[in-house]
Chain A
Amino acid sequence: MRNALKLVAPLAIAVVVAGCATSGLKYSDAKGPAAASDPNLGRIYMYRTAIVGLAVQPEVKINGEVIGRATPKGYFYVDRPAGTYEITTTTEVERKLSLTLDKGQTRYVKLNISFGFFIGHVYPELIDTDAALKDIKDLQYTGQ
């Protein structure tokens, strides 16, 4: 039994680590500006802190366009013109966040996980900047 555990434990850890963002630049180490470099655009950060529900990593869409994936311990961002946006994630159900974006504004969207019937649900939530900066500082970049 002990031998079996010795074999399984590292494998389990490897699986967990492989499912998380591990290679991208940490937010706190990123040299780039937090805001969009083009003053006509705003920036929306998307991030996920939770490792729970590791296997559930749905695509994240903005106004129907795929922009990334809800990777545990990861973040990415998109720059967009001022306007109104819907951010959606779909597992067994679709979850939606509607928000506005101004020129030069930076917004933060946390990808939370909740229980579902068969699999967990990932739902996007708009977060205050102060709280988001605490959440995101140790997360790693998963964008293109």
Chain B
Amino acid sequence: MHGTERFTAAVHQWLLGMFSPGAAHIAEMVLTGLAYLAFFAVAGLALVYLERRIAAFFQVRLGPNRVGPFGLLQTVADALKLVAKEPIGTKKADHFLYSLAPYFLIISSLMAISVIPMGAGFSAFDIDVGVFFLIAVSSVGVLGILIAGWGSYNKYSLIGALRSGAQMISYELSVGLSLLTMILLVGSLRFSDVVQAQSDYWLIFKGHIPAFIAFVIFIISGTAESNRTPFDLVEAESELGAGFHSEYSGIQFAFFFLSEFINMFIISAVAATVFLGGWMPFHIGDLEGFNHIMDYIPGPVWFFIKTGFIIFLMMWFRWTFPRLRIDQLMKLEWKYLLPLNLLNILLMAFFVWKGWYL
């Protein structure tokens, strides 16, 4: 914890030494923006490589292992290939909307990443409605998909985009409500408060039964939010109605593709922060010695281990389960997940009132 705070303080002092306070502030903002963009790109590349490798191990084969040592440069080669492709558009496409659509997704993902703390004080904004801000901003991504479908002037893209839009809007309800269940335990929407409240036990252990149910519901809804199997009928119906990104090629397609993986990262990061403790090491109540040993591993390492675990879980789902049909998907949300979520909130409120939590 102290390591990251010292790091940010040192950078702040160095900048103050070089510029006047106003210019140093602006320089800090520019540096943070660049850092996040670099993280975005590297995380996207790493996730694509990981997905292919893990998928290969599930399917008893080797993944990419020729480009670079252990195939680590495979995604770089893919990105270069995509950049070199010609962006073909349709003649009758609405050019303004068609070109605008990918940016909605990128901007909403970047704004969502900026509030998640990766270490103590290691987030771009620490506003006091952090959780609410994150859920609100990720809804903007749905707009990007709808605009992409409409602007392509292709009836199959439109059908795919509308289906995907319906799916994402429905499952946002479950995401929001399951996060709300955990906020009842914490009492504040600020992300740093959420992480600090887990300094004796992680929230999933604190609120035992309702927290576990909320975790399961969050994982299912999060998988549906990022359009992954078993909820990926948008992409896999490319048998018949090609998905909403069918008319895009080249770098614009790369944006859609990347934003899917970054969405997955955001969902995992939120799950890791709210349920599993964020950058807080694994503490058990008052055991001083144990807690002290756990503190040796720095905060960001804990964060990435937990996020990685949930990403692995989501990939495991993708390569095991068949797909759901669109009406089954809607039925699952509105008839099963939403009532369970509401009941769960009542249960958690009852437990908090009685004080039956760790």
Q: Do A and B belong to a common assembly?
A: no
Residues of B within 8 A of A (CB): none
